[in-house]
Amino acid sequence: MSIQKHIPSLYIHIPFCISKCIYCDFNSIVMKSQIVDEYLNAIESGLQAINGKYSFTTVYIGGGTPTVLNEIQLSKLLNIISKHVDVFNLKEYTIEVNPGTLNDEKIFALKNSCIDRVSIGIQSFNDKYLKLLGRIHTAKEAKDIFSSLREKGFEDISIDLIYGYPTQTLNEWKTDLRECLILDPEHISAYCLTYEQGTPLVGMTDSGKFKKLGEEEELNMYEHTNDFLGNKGYKHYEISNFAIPGKECQHNTVYWENREYIGIGAGAFSYNNGERCCNIKDVKEYISAVKAKKNLICFSEKLPQEKRASEILIMALRMTSGISEKEFFNRSGCNLTELFGTQLNILAQAGLINFDDERVKLTRKGLSLADSVMMEFV
Ligand code: SF4
């Protein structure tokens, strides 16, 4: 009998969406129904290949938009997963949903699987900005879907929000946060709008159609988020993530703590035995490679120890709990102060990090300037 290796997390990528949002640079395509079934077969082959080799603590079905699958396809996906993964013994089983793609039948299918956590991409409660982003749902539809999920018994729901839209005011963002809390989610991710090269958003900004908000306005929104959610009982546990204590996302914490994960699907990353690799991104090419039993990996790397140590520190500092010298040594095999003592001292003097309880963590000021702080360790 072969011995199963424990890998903390399994990620399954569903790369289909109804249409592309203008800011999106995720590996997703507009769904063409004829390839969905072939893609699900490819996912099954991937899961078959690891069946019996690994046990997992968390599973995360992300996208794209997993719930763009129709009721039959969604049930097929969930059945494939439970056939090859011990879903009964998971500590967390999440699916990402888009409010414009759910209905009672699909919620029923989710409830009938072992899924216990739903992450809803709402982004804004203001229809003006939902339209601007190219989202396929209204604020009312998002609220209704949230209520349906609650009524059907989901007790762990996360809401994704974005702030910092062109022309958005702090007051509008305050209203968004208040609307969000009326729903009483267990977890909130609040990211500042990013301008990724190659997206229509960047094209529209370059052509003068939109004007990016100033850094100070973005910062005011970030700081208000931290204060407001903190005062309402949400733990600010990662730069952009907030949770009722005990409801932090275990799956994403695996990434931030540089622990191992397996990714199944087009463009999915894995990190196993010190090696990080990425599957073929193009959905059709991925399906063809699976069918032809060809190598699915389009990129892999094993970082040298010092680079890996730098990555470990950067990821760990995303968490507000930071990292202790001992944890850093256990994860990287390197001594924290020997490797980064100079940078840590300079950043501490600038009030950007501190060493409370022998842990290195970002201060409040450091959280606001996290990108610049992290650059010091690259
Ligand atoms: S729904 Fe999500 S993955 Fe799909 S296009 Fe919009 S942002 Fe991208």
Which residues 6+ apart lie within 8 Å of 109 measured at CB? 71, 74, 75, 78
CA of 60 to the centre of ligand 1 (A): 16
Q: Whose CA is nearest to atom 2 of ligand 1?
A: 64
Pocket test for ligand 1, best of 18, 19, 24, 281 (most atoms within 8 A of CB): 24
CA of 76 to the centre of ligand 1 (A): 22
The C-alpha torsion from 242 through 247 and 250 to 251, rounded to 10°, is -70
CA of 206 to the centre of ligand 1 (A): 22
Say what the pLDDT of residue 86 is.
95
Q: What is the DSSP string of 127-183?
A: HHHHHHHT-SS-HHHHHHHHHHHHHTT---EEEEEEE--TT--HHHHHHHHHHHHHH
5-256 with 306-375: one CATH topology? Answer: no
Domain ranges, ordered by start, for the chain: 5-256, 306-375
Pocket test for ligand 1, best of 16, 19, 21, 135 (most atoms within 8 A of CB): 21
CA of 99 to the centre of ligand 1 (A): 12
Measured from CB, residues less than 6 Å from any atom of ligand 1 are 17, 20-21, 24, 26, 28, 63-65, 98, 121
What is the residue type of 348?
Answer: A
DSSP helix/strand/coil, 367: helix
Contact 133, 124 (CB under 8 A): yes
Q: Which of 94, 167, 164 is nearest to 124 (CA)?
A: 164
Contact 209, 118 (CB under 8 A): no
Pocket test for ligand 1, best of 13, 18, 23, 28 (most atoms within 8 A of CB): 28
b/e sequence 162-199, b meaning 16+ C-beta within 10 Å: bbbbeebeeebbeebbebbbebebbbbbbebbeeeeeb
HSE-up (13 A, CA, CB side) for residue 207: 7
CA of 286 to the centre of ligand 1 (A): 20
The C-alpha torsion from 112 through 113 and 116 to 121, rounded to 10°, is -90
Say what the pLDDT of residue 33 is.
73
Pocket test for ligand 1, best of 23, 30, 65 (most atoms within 8 A of CB): 65
HSE-up (13 A, CA, CB side) for residue 105: 9
Q: Consecutive sets of 10 residues in the chain, 378 residues long: mean pLDDT of each?
A: 87 96 93 88 97 96 96 97 96 97 96 96 97 95 97 97 96 98 98 95 94 95 97 98 98 97 98 96 96 95 94 97 96 94 94 88 95 94
Ligand 1 atom with minimal separation from the 18 CA: 4
Q: Whose CA is nearest to atom 3 of ligand 1?
A: 64
- Tell me if the domain spanning 5-256 has CATH number 3.80.30.20: yes
Q: Whose CA is nearest to atom 7 of ligand 1?
A: 24
Which residues 6+ apart lie within 8 Å of 368 measured at CB? 219, 222, 223
Structure tokens, 177: 């946060």
Q: Whose CA is nearest to atom 6 of ligand 1?
A: 21
CA of 245 to the centre of ligand 1 (A): 28
Angle, helices 104-112/139-151, rounded to nearest 10 degrees: 40
Q: Whose CA is nearest to atom 8 of ligand 1?
A: 24
Tell me the CATH number of domain 306-375, given options 1.10.10.920, 3.40.50.2000, 3.40.140.10, 3.40.50.1820: 1.10.10.920
CA of 171 to the centre of ligand 1 (A): 26
